[in-house]
Structure 1
Amino acid sequence: MKKILYFALAAGLTLSSCENDLDIVNPNAPTTTVFWQNSTDAVQGVNAVYSTLHRDRMVLWQWFYYTVRSDEAFSRSPDSAIPNNMDRFLITDYNFGRTNLVYSDNYVGIFRANQALANIPEIEMDESLKARLLGEAKFLRAFFYYNLASLYGNVPLILEPSTPTDLPPNATREEVWAQAAQDLREAAEGLPTTYSGEDVGRVTKGAANALLAKVYMQTRNYEAALEPLQWLVEGEGSDIYDLMPNYRDNFLASTENNMESVFEWQLATNESEYTPEDTETPNQNYGSPLAQFIAPANVGFSDAEFHRWVVNEFHEEETVNGERDPRLEASFFFDSTDVRGPEFSMIYGQTFAQRYGLDDTRVWLRKFANDAEPGRTGEGFRSANNYRFLRYADVLLMYAETLNQLGRTQEAYPYVDRVRERANLAPLSEVRPGMTQEQFHEQIEHERVTELAGEGHRWNDLDRWGYFESQEKLNELIQRDPGFANFVLNRHRLLPLPQRDVDINPNLEQNPNY
């Protein structure tokens, strides 16, 4: 059974977040001057930063922007705003609520992290614990800026506790990446390699190095990405992380925080959560609504579906035993989740044929679903299944990509082979020896689809690989996803900044060509 979440302790700390311009002070409201007094306050303050990850738009709508907006998935939600803004690039409302909520929630996390980073250094407490907490806060601030740089680009860079009268200007996307990298380098110095007991799930040195490598790779600084990846793959991290023998164990609530997990969002069911019928217990939802929104039709809302080309990637080669890639069954609900077909493919207690007939070709993501729970017939808004954001398989593929980009293609083979061998596929060194750098990169693109589909990395992969920079590359996306026919170069690579922020802040400029 999952423990009560460690970062639930201070979910309401934002009450102490900022001063206002009124002369009357609420004597019952906590303030920063009375809160940050001892080590308990420091721990709870950092817990509040983690708590940002429970805001439903962080794990839900942010996933849509990373995944549904990419060529992997699409939406035919009856709420037309979802497919128009998150899939088809028909963005006409620069105050679209879900876009603004993702933006603002990342800044909520940054605000909380800035509070911790500004106040914890002045507390008299155990120095090793202080260093760890500051490392956690820096990692989380970097993670929030990673999301903002990935999705919005030229956002304000705020590094001190802010007030309502602040009017910060845009930073460039490059400056935001650079700050995230600095935070992660510093975080890695103070973070432990592992935790025990109730602290399991807090960010580690390995998580900081993995995210640092991602930041460097997004800026195509592969030389810089090499060092943190080497720590993970060839250094101390190699004794901590490894691939789970069973691929599906990376997505089940019963096998969370396993040896393949580098950074996962800790989720749980809060039995005391606020509901409209019970206004006396305004406690936070620690679960995720993602499974409800992306579950198959008649099970959940079916607001996100996957293109069939993604399924076809798994059919490009068989295992060494002549069987289908086992990751396909673990990844998707579709007419052949069971290789025998729709009359054997179970969808929450019924066969695919019973639910949708024999000719339906729709595909839904199975990762993050709760269908493994006995008797489960549908999803809900409070899934306790952790969201795995960084897995060691991703790290191995990142390392292979980095080595290849640095012209060390032959050295990159073993790390792709480790991922393939877990799926019982033949090693690349046997089936495709002697590839050129370009050929190996094409192989990496394939491997990242079959290993990581739907896990929230596809948009940044496409961005890093230059798909949003030329019509030629864009045409490849259009062949896989017709929604990209509406994509405008030099505009849709980034989302618009919330127009409400641009209107009230004379120092803030809207993103180009919006």
Structure 2
Amino acid sequence: MKKIFLLASLILLVTTACDRDFDQPNPNNPTIASFWKSETDAIKGINAVYSTFHRSATLYSRFLFYHGMLRSDEGYGSGGDITLNNIMSFNQTNYNEGLTAGTWQNLFIGVFRANQVLAYVPGIEMDEALKNRIIGEAKFLRGLFYFNLALYYGRPPLMLEPSEPTDRPANATNAEAWAQVEKDLSEAAPALPLSYTGDDLGRATRGAALGLLGKTYLQQNKHQEAANTLAWFITGEGKGLYTLTANYQDNFKASTENNSESVFEIQFRFNPNENTDDDVDETRINNTGTSIAQFYAPRGVGFSDGGARRWLVNEFEKENTALGIRDPRLAATLLFDSTDVRGPQFTMVYGQTFASRYGTSGGESSAVWFRKQLNDNEAGRTEEGFRSPNNHRLLRYADILLMYAEALNAIGQTAQAYPYVDMVRVRAGLRPLTVTRPGLSQAAFLSQIKHERITELTGEGWRFADLQRWGELGPELAVRDPEFTNFVKGRNEWYPIPQSDIDLNPNLTQNPGY
């Protein structure tokens, strides 16, 4: 009898289960739609979009620096992470590799969060000015996420509504992806304030939206649109809002964050209550710092996974200052045997001389490391960790000036472009370009801009975008970066789309050449 009872119970259970709607929401769990009720919810929602920056190691906590710096000719995978080294050498066979697939997926998590804000905040009864600002912030952030998707993956699907499990979006074209970035940033700018104070410092401003919009136009070689947009900083409402700092290195120290030159920066902080030095993972340990310093720092104080190419040193040394000394930006940008111009016996690496750590011949004696993400300028610092508080200056006024000069030159206004390059040069102590190289042709001025962007912006994550914009990605770069021997034109300008996404979505196709 017991066996019959058990069998009957099992049949009843199976029959009942077959009649259930497994898509029905659990009434004990809050739904997305039920969350968005109040002004407090709207603020929490937009804050969650910003928190995507810190999510795992895949965005601005680490991986986006790899994509922008190590994948370009200014850097390379220099440590023991073979997967990283292979991808940076254009030798990727696993299209689900975390370095590329994880970045893609986390960018879309940011898009998903921004889409929720844009879908639900308009229906909340709250202060209208704050509502409009939050909507503007969400559009800026979605524009930034899609900027990276268009730059590194080329053909992402456009997902502009809160996503559902049944969604099967097709690839956008690269032009369509950039057009969406333009739309988001154009709509974000008028809704955003010029500045913030207090706890809101670090949120997207009007200048941040217009600066990224100008970069978006320039990246597509839409030079007139770029010039028109960036003029906001020079002759428009933003005139005088930003200034170059007197000390160049103040743009890369934790003690001088959110300064007059900062247009937008990713906010990091060290929380003493975080009791881990593991990788950044908001879902597990809520680390609000960045791990990039740990992975870029020299051997002995960090992992040395990302190194800089030696040719950069030579680029800085092409021209001395007006006083006849070396360009001071070199020491602020790179850590190498002669960061102190007197040599390895005087160059300090976290409390020890370069010579004592790495010798003066063979081995790592000729190694070069990126310095802008490090904290070696802090007194008493002997090592790095996974919770660096040093903000990343995503957009600086110096970058704005150089982009504006590049755009003016491209539309035939070379003479008018000179003053903006000179502002950057004079801050570094160099003589004005109007004195040293007057009357350059359009082509020669562009070549000069390329040099200026190296000496001003090396190690800030824009080099790959620059090379892509100028059409200079290719095997010919192997003369200064041997990894480019493997570069295949028509393929390696973009990463592969994760195969796992293609397997789940029949409307998604792989990038050319993969």
TM-based fold match above 0.5 = yes
Q: Any residues of structure 2 matched to 1:396-407 within 5 Å, and which?
A: 396-407=401-412
- Which residue pairs with 1:352 in the alignment? 354
Structure 1 contact 84–91 (Cα < 8 Å) conserved: yes
- Which residue pairs with 1:40 in the alignment? 40
Report the secondary structure of 1:58's partner residue.
Answer: coil
- Which residue pairs with 2:79 in the alignment? 77
Report the secondary structure of 1:57's partner residue.
Answer: coil
- Which residue pairs with 1:242 in the alignment? 243
Structure 1 contact 270–284 (Cα < 8 Å) conserved: no
Distance 2:59 2:22 in 1: 31
- Which residue pairs with 2:159 in the alignment? 158
Distance 2:298 2:509 in 1: 40
Distance 1:232 1:131 in 2: 23
* TM-score calculated relative to the size of structure 1: 0.92
Shift of 1:233: 2.0
Distance 1:154 1:115 in 2: 23
Shift of 1:25: 3.7
Distance 1:146 1:22 in 2: 37
- Which residue pairs with 1:343 in the alignment? 345
Shift of 1:238: 2.1
Alpha carbons of structure 1 residues 118 and 437: separation in structure 2 relative to 1, 3 Å: same
* Counterpart amino acid of residue 349 in structure 1: G
Structure 1 contact 73–304 (Cα < 8 Å) conserved: yes
Report the secondary structure of 2:239's partner residue.
Answer: helix
Structure 2 contact 371–459 (Cα < 8 Å) conserved: no
Distance 2:267 2:29 in 1: 28
* Counterpart amino acid of residue 374 in structure 1: A
Distance 1:23 1:223 in 2: 51
* TM-score calculated relative to the size of structure 2: 0.92
Report the secondary structure of 2:263's partner residue.
Answer: strand
Distance 1:362 1:292 in 2: 17
- Which residue pairs with 1:195 in the alignment? 196
**Superposed CA offset, 1:134-182 (max 9, x none):** 0000000000000000000001100000012211110001101000000
- Which residue pairs with 1:207 in the alignment? 208
Q: Any residues of structure 2 matched to 1:75-154 within 5 Å, and which?
A: 75-85=77-87, 87-154=88-155
- Which residue pairs with 2:422 in the alignment? 417
- Which residue pairs with 1:448 in the alignment? 453
Distance 1:301 1:336 in 2: 21
- Which residue pairs with 2:382 in the alignment? 377
Q: Which runs of 5+ in 2 are unaligned?
A: 1-20
- Which residue pairs with 1:480 in the alignment? 480
- Which residue pairs with 2:371 in the alignment? 366
- Which residue pairs with 2:6 in the alignment? none
- Which residue pairs with 1:429 in the alignment? 434
**Superposed CA offset, 1:242-285 (max 9, x none):** 100000000000000000000100001233436499xxx95411
* Counterpart amino acid of residue 285 in structure 1: N
| Farther-moved stretch of structure 1 (357-366 vs 143-152) | 357-366
Distance 1:270 1:108 in 2: 24
* Counterpart amino acid of residue 167 in structure 1: R
* Counterpart amino acid of residue 503 in structure 2: D
- The partner residue of 1:325 within 321, 324, 327 is 327
Distance 1:44 1:205 in 2: 21
Structure 2 contact 475–486 (Cα < 8 Å) conserved: no
* Aligned length in residues: 485
Distance 1:161 1:23 in 2: 17
Report the secondary structure of 2:337's partner residue.
Answer: coil
Distance 1:151 1:171 in 2: 14
Structure 1 contact 274–284 (Cα < 8 Å) conserved: no
Distance 1:22 1:310 in 2: 59
Shift of 1:38: 1.2
RMSD of aligned alpha carbons? 1.4
Distance 1:275 1:320 in 2: 48
Distance 2:30 2:402 in 1: 46
**Superposed CA offset, 1:442-481 (max 9, x none):** 000000000000100000100100113xxxxx35411111
Report the secondary structure of 2:59's partner residue.
Answer: helix
Distance 1:22 1:354 in 2: 66
Shift of 1:33: 2.6
Identical pairs, percent: 55
TM superposition outliers: structure 1 runs of 4+ over 3 Å: 21-29, 271-277
Report the secondary structure of 2:196's partner residue.
Answer: coil
1:66 to 2:72 alignment: no
